[in-house]
Structures are given as structure tokens and as C-alpha cells.
Structure 1
Amino acid sequence: MASTLAVAPARRRPAARVWRERLPGIVMGGPAVLVFLAMFIVPMILAFVLSLTDWNGFSLSFTFIGLDNYAEAFRNPRTVDAAVFTAVVAFFGTILCNGVGLALAALISGSGRANTLMRTIFFYPYIISSLIIGFLWSAMLAPEGAVNGVLAHVGIPAVPFLTEVGFAKASVILTIVWSSFGFNMILFLAGMKSVPLEYYEAATIDGASRWQQFRSVTMPLIAPVFTVNLVLTLVGLLKVYDVVLALTDGGPAGSTQTIVYQILKNSFGQSELGFGAAQSVILLVVTAVLGLAVTFARRGAEKKVAE
């Protein structure tokens, strides 16, 4: 004879008890949420509203002009040139910062005082203000600066590092890389230190060389670190302006202006805050799209490696 077991319905907890259980989390997370709203969401909304106006930043009156600022941003030659140079800086800077950082991390990942000293030396430029780095290299690369002084001493003609368009663009990119690769190196070092030694021991027993161990053991296991480095570097380089301000001030002939430099120049130098806000919104969207695209692409690569 089959017996039927009656299942008692789940008792609902009183609402007051549920809120008491959630209250500590709300209290602890509330300040962070408020800061996020005040420092990111609200300014973003205000920037979008301002981008629809012709506000100059000083008067109390302004006119809503719709999407005119966005149309102007896409057809303004200065803005287009700044966006192209920003893309060049982001592309080559991301490759060089991560390439140099990864290579140095692999070379000095061992223990010992010499490796510790080298890590400190390579990381030091990152903690210096970008403005100071820009002014430092501006003094060194100037037509009568230290570098050209050394070249003249050995009979080599002066190089127009900051006065010729091609050299100026290369100088900006290399200065940014010099000031930033230390951060990438430290993240790669942290990833390499987290790899269990047993994997290397097994690879050594199998007869794998140092290069084979790096390619087949280290790189797959630090793939998440590589993803983080790529995204952080790309996003950081898309908004670079301080090195440009101190090194070339956008010259020669505006050839090294980045998009953020152009935004600040339009917003405050030319009192076109509405136009600058439109450029900022476009940059925010582009940065978010590129950051997500790189993240998803790298996640896919990580899954393939794990398989």
C-alpha cells in the first residue's frame, strides 16, 4: 500500500527579521554606493546634460542645442586628429608596456638582492608624478637638452625629438611607456609568484627548457593577470594627457594632442564646456566598449587555454 507523504509548506520569515538580517550589509555597503553615485553616476548624468547645451562654463544661461556638439565632435579636424593620436598611443603603448613589463618580470622573477634592486629601479618611474616625468624628459629631449648635448659631444647632429612631428609622437609614446611599464611588471611578477613550483619541477623532469616552461606553464597560468594588465593599460592610455601637457604641450602644430588634452583645452581654454562634455561622453562610451571587448576576448582565450 503506497503511502503519501505530505510536504509541509515552507514557513515565510517575518519581514522585520529579514530586514534585520540585511541591515548590516546595507549599512556597510551604503557609503560605498553613495560615493559611487556621487563621484561617477551623477557627474556622468550632468556631463550628458551639459553636452546637449552651448554652456560656456561661466554664464548662468545656456541653450539646449540637441546633438549639435556630438556632430561637431565628429567633423572637427582637431578632435579627429586628437582621437587618432590617442588611438596610436593606446595601441602601441599597451603593446610596449605589457611586452616590456612581461619580459622584465620573467628576467627578474628569481630571488636575490640583485633582482630585488632591479624591481625597485624599474618600478620607481611609476610612482613619480606624470607631470614631473614630462618636464624631466622635456628638459632632456629639448633641442639644447641633455641628450642632444651628449650627441653633439660625440659628433652626432642634434635630433628634433620635440620639434618634428614624427619624433615628437615617438617621444610621447616612449616617455609614457617608460613611466608606466613598472606597474605591468609588478602585476606580472605577482602572477608568476603564484604559480606552484610543482609545475616547473614536472616540466624540468620532462626535459622542458626555460623558454618552453615559460610558454607552456607560466603564460597559461598567468592569463588572468595578462587580461587585467591589458584592460588597465588600455583604459589608462585612452585618458592620458599629463605627460603630453608637460612634454610637448600638444605640439608641434597640435600633432601630439590627445583627446583628453583636447577636451580640457576646449572646455576651459576656449570656454566651450558643452562641446567638451560631448567629447567626454564619446570618450566614456568608446573606453567602455573597448574595455569590455578586450575583457571578453581575453576571457575566451583563457577558456581555450584552460581546456
Structure 2
Amino acid sequence: MSTTLAPRRRSALQTWQLRLPGFLMAAPAVAVFIAMFVIPMILAAVLSFTNWNGYSLNFDFIGWDNYAKAFRNPRSIDAAIFTGIVAVVGTVLCNGIGLAVAALISGPGRSNTLLRTIFFYPYVISSLIIGFIWSAMLSPQGAVNGVLSTIGLPAMPFLTDPTFAKASVIFTIAWAHFGFNMILFLAGIKSVPAEYYEAATVDGASRWQQFRSITLPLIAPVFTVNIVLTLVGLLKVYDVVLSLTDGGPAGSTQTIVYQILKNSFANSELGFGAAQSMVLLIVTAVIGLAVTLVRRRAEQKVTD
């Protein structure tokens, strides 16, 4: 009996010895993930059922009142609608512009290399700084209105009219973020084998036909990554709004994250802000998963 179990025990011990270095190497990352994400998420979930103001040590559990307030509050509903508009329109613009620019400058040459650097550079800059820059340019006495007045055109209310302010926020976000999508699309286009284009050229296919029939199907996975990352990222947009419009005029450009931070700190309603955070977390996870599944099916149809 002992002679048959000994090899198995030695085998299990050897297996753990082989796995131990991997566990030790992964342990710091796992610890950071738990400390920075899991524990704060659990605390936020608990606080979302309280009326804690963020300062006092005394608070009461109030059940689902914060969640009910989040869905009844007109400001929260308006912020959710605007956040959805920013996420959808911004995703379309970032990916559309990013793909178009990537296709145009995907060839070799110093000029294309310089253009890639120029187009990607805004993504490297802090979104807060970008918001301040465009705020100075689009303000009533800003550079854009100065140019308009020079050529005899009236000044435009880019940041003072609700409709113009919303469009300005979306434009600034797209301008700042499309460079990231461009780089991913460039990587996807560069990975397409040149033999496919050579065969299509021999068959007489135009560049547009090659792009539509070869490039687009083969970079479908890049589309999935770009759409999910952009959509999820824009659902959490905050810094551009803060520096560009500060949620104005009349609260028309407030996003969900802007509302969460305002309620949590400016209004000392941290329990309410935590409830909004949990709702945003769930919605973001559901949307990200749904978009990923839809895109995976689209990829399979393309490859089949």
C-alpha cells in the first residue's frame, strides 16, 4: 500500500514546488488588486445602505433609500442621459476617426510617422489640461470666437449654451481620445499579411474594395477591443467635464461620475454617492459584457 501512494505524494509535492514560484510572483499583484479594488468595492457597497456624510463616525443603515433616490433624482437622471450620449457618440467618433486616420497614415514614410505622433499626442496629455486648453479656446472671449469676430462672424456660445456646451464636451473628448483608437487600428492593419493585398491587386480590386473586403474583416477583433475600452472609459468620464464646463451651464453637462463626486464630497452625502457608484459599476459591467458578446458573434460571422 505504501509503495503505491509514495509516487503520488512525491508527484503532488513536485507539482506544488513547480507552482510555488508562480504563486509568489503573482501574490503582490493579487494583494494590490484586493487592497485597491475588492476591499473598496465592498466598503462602498456597505456604505451605500447608510446615510454617512463622510465625516461623522455615526451613521444609520437606511436600506435601499439611497438607490431609490438615485433613480428618482432628476439631476441623476439627466446626468445618466448625458453620460449615455457621451459614451455612445464619443465611441462612434473615436473609433470612426481613429480608423479613418489609421487607414490614411498606415503606409511607410517619415511624414506618416510624424502624423502618428501628432495625432497620438493629445491622448498622452492629462484630460484636465486638455479641458482647460479648450475652455480657454472656446470661452466667449477665447481664441475661436476671436477668429470668428476677425472674419466678421458672430461669437458662438460654445460653453454658455446647453446644447453647444454638450457638443463641445463630446468634441473635446473625441479629440483627446481618438489617438488611442488610431494606434490600435494601426497595429491591426499592420498585422494583415501583405500577400492578401497583392492578390487583390492582381484581381483588379480597388483600394476601397481591399479595405472593405480584407482589412475590415481581419481587424474585427481590434474593433471589439476599441469599442469596449472606449465605451467603458467614457461611461466614467469626469475630468474633461470638470475643467471644460464644470458641469454647466445650469448643470447640463454633468456626468454620472461628476454627480457622484459632487454628492459625496461637495454635498457630504457619501452614502448616496456610494449607491450611485454601485449602480454605475453594475451598469458598466453589464454593458461591457453585452457589447463584448455581440462583437464576438460579429467576429465569428466574419470569419465563417
- Normalising by structure 1, we get a TM-score of 0.96
* Paired residues for 1:62-141 under 5 Å: 62-141=59-138
Partner of 1:266: 263
Partner of 2:178: 181
Match of 2:8 among 9, 12, 19: 12
Deviation at 1:11, TM superposition (A): 5.7
Match of 1:247 among 238, 244, 249: 244
> Could you give the per-residue CA deviations for residues 118-176 of structure 1, whole angstroms, max 9, x where no partner exists?
11111111111101110100011001111101101111011000000110000000000
Partner of 1:5: none
Partner of 2:281: 284
Q: Where does structure 2 lack aligned partners over 5 or more consecutive residues? A: none
**CA distance in 1: counterparts of 2:147 and 2:24, whole angstroms:** 62
**CA distance in 1: counterparts of 2:64 and 2:246, whole angstroms:** 30
* Paired residues for 1:146-295 under 5 Å: 146-295=143-292
Report how many aligned residue pairs link the two structures: 300
**CA distance in 1: counterparts of 2:57 and 2:6, whole angstroms:** 60
**CA distance in 1: counterparts of 2:17 and 2:110, whole angstroms:** 54
- Asked whether 1:34 is paired with 2:31, we answer yes
**CA distance in 2: counterparts of 1:12 and 1:299, whole angstroms:** 42
**CA distance in 2: counterparts of 1:30 and 1:205, whole angstroms:** 55
When the two chains are superposed, the root-mean-square deviation of aligned CA atoms in Å is 1.3
Q: Where does structure 1 lack aligned partners over 5 or more consecutive residues? A: 1-7
**CA distance in 2: counterparts of 1:13 and 1:112, whole angstroms:** 62
Write the letter of the residue equivalent to 1:223: A
Write the letter of the residue equivalent to 1:284: L
Deviation at 1:10, TM superposition (A): 12
> Could you give the per-residue CA deviations for residues 225-268 of structure 1, whole angstroms, max 9, x where no partner exists?
11000000001100001000000000000000000000000000
**CA distance in 2: counterparts of 1:130 and 1:270, whole angstroms:** 25
**CA distance in 1: counterparts of 2:277 and 2:155, whole angstroms:** 39
Deviates more, 1:150-159 or 1:20-29: 20-29
Write the letter of the residue equivalent to 2:213: S
Write the letter of the residue equivalent to 2:62: I
Deviation at 1:37, TM superposition (A): 1.0
Write the letter of the residue equivalent to 2:291: V
> Could you give the per-residue CA deviations for residues 25-74 of structure 1, whole angstroms, max 9, x where no partner exists?
21111111111111111111111001010000000111011111000000
Moved over 4 A (4+): 8-11
Q: Give aligned-pair identity as a percent.
A: 76
Write the letter of the residue equivalent to 1:127: V
